[in-house]
Amino acid sequence: MGAAAFGTSALAGCSGTDGKTPAENEAESIAESAVDERAIESHEPRDDEDGFRVVVTVRNNGDRTTNLVEYGYELVLYDAEGTELARSGTGRETTNETKATPGETATIDVSALSTDYSPAIARYEVSLTCQGAFVDGVYCQS
C-alpha cells in the first residue's frame, strides 16, 4: 500500500503561543492516506470546548463499500518550533455517516486524547492507515 492521498492546510482560526496563526508561521498541516483505495479529500481543524480534533473527509476510490471507523488514524500535533506535542492513534469519533460506497465520501473526526496542549498547536499531521488493534477495513485485508 502506498500513499494514496496527500493534502495540506493551515490552521485557520487557531493560534499558537506567539499569537500568530500557523499561516503566519508558514506551518502547514498534512493529511495522507496509506490505503490506496481511500483518498483524503479534505481536513479541517477544530479547537473548541471538546478539545482539538480534525474533521477528515475521505473518498472511497475502491470497488467495495467500506466504513471509516474500520481503519486506523494517527494524529500528531506540533508547536510553532516543530516540536511534537502529542501523538494519538486511537481518538476517533463521529456523528456523521461513516460508510462510503464506491466513489462516495464520508467524514470522521480524529481527535487528540488530551486538551492540555491546544493553545500551543501550530500544525498537525493526520494519517489514515491499516495499523491498529481493531483495524479491519475491507481494504486492509490481504
142 in any annotated domain:
no
Cα of first residue to Cα of last residue in the chain, in angstroms, is 11
135 in any annotated domain:
no
The CATH number of the domain where 31 resides is what? 2.60.40
Q: What is the pLDDT of residue 46?
A: 87
Q: Write down the pTM of the prediction.
A: 0.77
Q: What is the pLDDT of residue 81?
A: 94
Using 50 as the pLDDT threshold, list the residues of the chain that sit under it.
1-26
138 in any annotated domain:
no
Q: Give the strand pairing for 66-67 and 38-48.
A: unpaired
CB 97 within 8 A of CB 109: no
136 in any annotated domain:
no
Residue ranges making up the domain that contains 50: 5-129
Q: What is the pLDDT of residue 111?
A: 86
- How many structural domains are present in the chain? 1
